[in-house]
A and B are shown apart, each in its own frame.
Chain A
Amino acid sequence: MLNYLATRLWQSIVTLILASMVVFFGVRQLPGDPALAMAGEEATPERLAAIREQLGLNESIITQYVKFVGNMVRGDFGQSTRTGAQVTDLVAATLPVTLWLSAYAIVVAVIVGVLLGVIAERFRGRWPEWMANALALIGLSVPNFWLGILAILYLAVAFGLFPASGYVPISRDPFQGIYHLTLPAIILGTSLAAVIMRQTRASMIETMKTDFVRTARAKGLSRPRVLFRYGLRNSLIVVVTIIGLQLGGLISGAVVTERIFALPGFGKLTLDAVFTRDYPVIQAVVLLITVGYILINLAVDILYSVINPRIRVGGKS
């Protein structure tokens, strides 16, 4: 177990270092001179040279990289070239929105996905399975931003069931906060729910075929009881893995969901930065998402090995 954790941790560190290099060199590929951007078009050569010196652009690329990593580790992401605000403050203001939205979406997706998966297994070959399968297929084939537009049109505007846009911080008013996030969370969770449903169904079908389930049934345990005790426990492992694998999709989905529902989150910060070429913000956003992604995947793998003892071998996942 310790051996596995050490290998996994080491791999994550290597990935983090490589990813930080990709971001560092990627940002240096961006068109435009950062010193010129800071000083403005009419800057004198002396002023440009001073800024270059101040930004450390004259130093060797390796020294620059080490400084870059040092700043990032200290949480110093510089200033937005557009507003002059500290990038750290911008992130602190927008990240909670996205985290709440994603967490809510994951909860919705797990509940709906596992439930439909169990129903599909329980009623194999009958109409509830067909319905569940059809729903999953639709969830995979319908782009969530289109679903979001339709939901706003029909559920929010026409029937007024949910607010069409707007954000209320959950810390200020939990009820209104959750109410405002409900429709976006459902929309964001759709495709995740579809993937979870399919995998839960497949894993339950496999589990119910195994010898230990047959033994449990022979011992006289009722089918629903076996289903919940053995089937669900195994599908939990699957669900944890899927959330890790689908995280990239979830992040991309959150960006577009925020755009549709006009939520002031991390995705909006990202898009605004891209369209205004706000390089310090782009750099920070890309790095934070990447680091977060690597750390969450590490956490998923650790959790995975805790739930499933069969995985703890040799560090190969």
Chain B
Amino acid sequence: MTVVEIRNPGLGSARGRIWRSLLRSPLGLTGGVMLAIVMVLGLIAPLIAPYGPAEVHFDAPFQAPGTIGYILGTDDLGRDIFSRMLFGIQVSLQVGFLSVLLAVAVGTPLGLLAGYWRGLDGIISRLTDVTLAFPFLIIAVGLSAISGPSLTNAAIALGIAQIPTMIRVVRGETLRIRETDFVLGAKTMDASGVRIIFSHILPNAVSAIIVQATVIMPVAVIGEALLSFLGLGIQPPTPSLGIMLSDAQQYISRAPTAAIFPGLAIVLICLGFNLFGDALRDALDPTNASRK
């Protein structure tokens, strides 16, 4: 009698390969470095910022970048652009992580349920369609009309808007994994549905969830800036890169750098996540395993 061992591949066995692949990708590394810089800046913002984000210096408005004491210059109220930018990055990342967390926390279980139990699929897919019918700006408009614009509401609106895609990604993965040999094997051994989902399907869907999270993050960061730019997101005096841009638009021809630096910060965050996410997707894609 031949015994065929069917193992659940999981993520563990591939971990070394994934790291090697990531380290070999110059674009992925660049993205990773950008992210590391941005995250460290965001984390230690209160320690390295020379001034408070809302600290006004009426004697020093419109200082040019490079002025002593104001490395990136000041805005119309003499607020230090460098300090405001650091705190703005912190807020951007907060909103980004909160909305990713919401999308993952709600999208993953619903995606698993929809993919595993066909009976629930119809209901969950209709709910997904309804959510998709509301563009994130409209969700944000609704939330801020009901309970006022705020950081939390911005994060919730951005998170809700991303739940449907997360559900679809996880559902697709679940559909794929539930037909694999090791899941079929577990089924013949009378493993319960819950057990199969948690010990077989979820661990194998994690990589797709992580990749999707790196896709959501830059969308959420740009979304937060957009909402704050329109006055529907973060409210002053809390600094936000979007608010800085909307302020700078008022005196754009007088101090163009006040608009350029916060924009560059957004680009740095998004480029970092996009580059790193692309490399991660390639590294996690098993069809690339044989490629050099």
Contact = CB atoms under 8 A, between A and B. Distances in A.
A153 B218 CA distance: 25
A157 to B, nearest CB: 6
Given A11-B129, A29-B146, A146 B253 contact: no
B142 interface: yes
Contacts of A95: none
B130 A22 contact: yes
A153 B141 contact: no
A15 B129 CA distance: 6
Interface residues of B, number: 41
B145 interface: yes
Interface string A263-283: 000000011001101010010
B38 interface: no
B87 interface: no
Interface of A is mostly: helix
A252 B146 CA distance: 19
A31 B135 contact: no
Interface in B203-249: 218, 222-223, 225-226, 229-232, 245, 248-249
Nearest to B143: A26
Interface of B is mostly: helix
Contacts of A153: 252-253, 256, 259
A97 interface: no
A157 B253 contact: yes
Contacts of B267: 138, 141-143, 146
A22 B134 contact: yes
B118 to A, nearest CB: 11
Interface string A235-273: 000000000000111011001100110000000001100
Interface of A: 11, 14-15, 18-19, 22, 26, 29-31, 137-138, 140-143, 145-146, 149-150, 152-153, 157, 247-249, 251-252, 255-256, 259-260, 270-271, 274-275, 277, 279, 282, 286, 289-290, 293-294, 297
28 contacts: A15-B133, A19-B134, A26-B142, A30-B146, A140-B218, A141-B267, A141-B271, A142-B263, A142-B266, A142-B270, A143-B226, A143-B267, A146-B259, A150-B259, A153-B252, A247-B135, A248-B132, A248-B134, A248-B136, A249-B135, A251-B137, A256-B229, A259-B230, A260-B249, A270-B141, A286-B134, A290-B133, A290-B138
